[in-house]
Amino acid sequence: KSTILTGITTTGTPHLGNYVGAIRPAIKASKDANASPFYFLADYHALIKCSEPEKVRHSSLEIAATWLALGLDTKNATFYRQSDVPEIMELTWMLSCVTAKGLMNRAHAYKGVVAENEATENTDPDKGITMGLFSYPILMAADILIFNAHKVPVGKDQIQHIEMARDIASRFNHIYGEHFVLPEAIIDDNASILSGLDGRKMSKSYNNTIPLFVPEKKLKKLINKIKTNSLEPGVAKDPTDCTLFSTYQAFASEQEVTDIRQQYAEGIAWGEMKKILFEKINSEITPARERYEALMQEPAHIEQQLQEGAVKARAISAPFLLELRKAVGIQKIV
Ligand code: ATP
């Protein structure tokens, strides 16, 4: 069985981008008997970007309820909270000690902030960069390697981190013997990256999201807020770089997309397109929204599911960590 792994950072309310890019394909994979999926709430990752405890706590509840409402098969999948598996943090340290600083210097997330600082002529290029941000690819490597995950479905922006996880794993294997499988990134070329209300990538950190399970009325309102150009009805419109169109594509069949493309050429009014998009998304998520609302009233049930997931996860991570401790020479004297 191949082990696949996906995590969602607990920094806010899950949105349409998380759904289309990660959760929807992962739920599908959770039903594949040939796969052994590991899905987790990345709450230690959340601390890198968010220092609001209540937000992190509430986000964990919302994200867990989302996975369950969407029908995650918790028998086949191991569904857990990162912080319930302390072996991940212990492994992070072991990996930190074999990771060259130079490798982390090249990480996009870190380099991006340095570049921004330099662009604003900031005297300190490292302004606002914590060690958490700098070394987060190592935490991500530990997430993957602790379960020897073979396949990690990721967006194109995350390919570098998987390569880093491979580098780190090879280095460890080279020094201490073969312990880790080298993970592979699985990139779905058809997977779309949804844009947010402001046209940038939809992201919890940008405050530009359409939360997945907002009430119907609110969903309609948010879709109406998506930025468009000012072309009048009747004027032909270009579907390229159009958030309404690309979002529709992520929910509709090929035939439906072809039809809409035609309607763009004929000059569909933006108001009409927004209505069509709302109806498409709403009909797909309404059944799950009802389950989500019910689950949010049952936090004890959700906690129970996470506890069960943690037991399953630790049955693997705890003995593996003992093996790794021994490999590096950390063990009882007698
Ligand atoms: P944050 O701002 O905290 O990083 P995020 O909303 O950008 O949060 P993550 O929790 O880091 O998302 O990512 C979880 C998963 O959702 C990842 O697999 C990521 O590729 C996917 N994802 C996030 N945003 C989008 C998007 N706009 N379109 C498609 N997939 C996305």
| pLDDT beyond 90 at 190 | no
Residue ranges, CATH 3.40.50.620, the chain: 2-99+135-193+298-328
Core vs surface per residue 230-256: b (16+ CB within 10 A) or e: eeeeeeebebeebbbbebbbbbbeeee
Which one of 6, 18, 62 would you pick to mutate in the ligand 1 pocket, going by the greatest count of ligand atoms within 8 A of its CB? 18
Which one of 60, 157, 203, 205 would you pick to mutate in the ligand 1 pocket, going by the greatest count of ligand atoms within 8 A of its CB? 203
* Residue pLDDT, tens place only, 78-123: 999 999 999 999 999 999 999 999 999 999 989 999 999 999 877 8
33 pLDDT tier (thresholds 50, 70, 90): confident
State the fold for domain 2-99+135-193+298-328.
Rossmann fold (3.40.50)
**Amino acid identity, position 252:** A
- The H or E element spanning position 278 is helix 270-296
Long-range contacts of residues 228-235, Cβ cutoff 8 Å, at least 24 apart: 228/270, 231/267, 231/270, 233/267, 233/268, 233/269, 233/270, 233/272, 234/267, 234/269, 235/267
CATH number attached to the domain at 213-294: 1.10.240.10
Mean pLDDT of 24-42: 91
In whole angstroms, give the CA distance from residue 257 to residue 249.
6
Question: How many angstroms is it from 7 CA to the middle of ligand 1?
Answer: 9
- Average per-residue pLDDT for the chain: 94
Q: Which residue has the higher pLDDT, 46 or 29?
A: 46
Under DSSP, the state recorded for 20 is I
Q: Are 79 and 306 in contact (CB under 8 A)?
A: yes
Residue ranges, CATH 1.10.240.10, the chain: 213-294
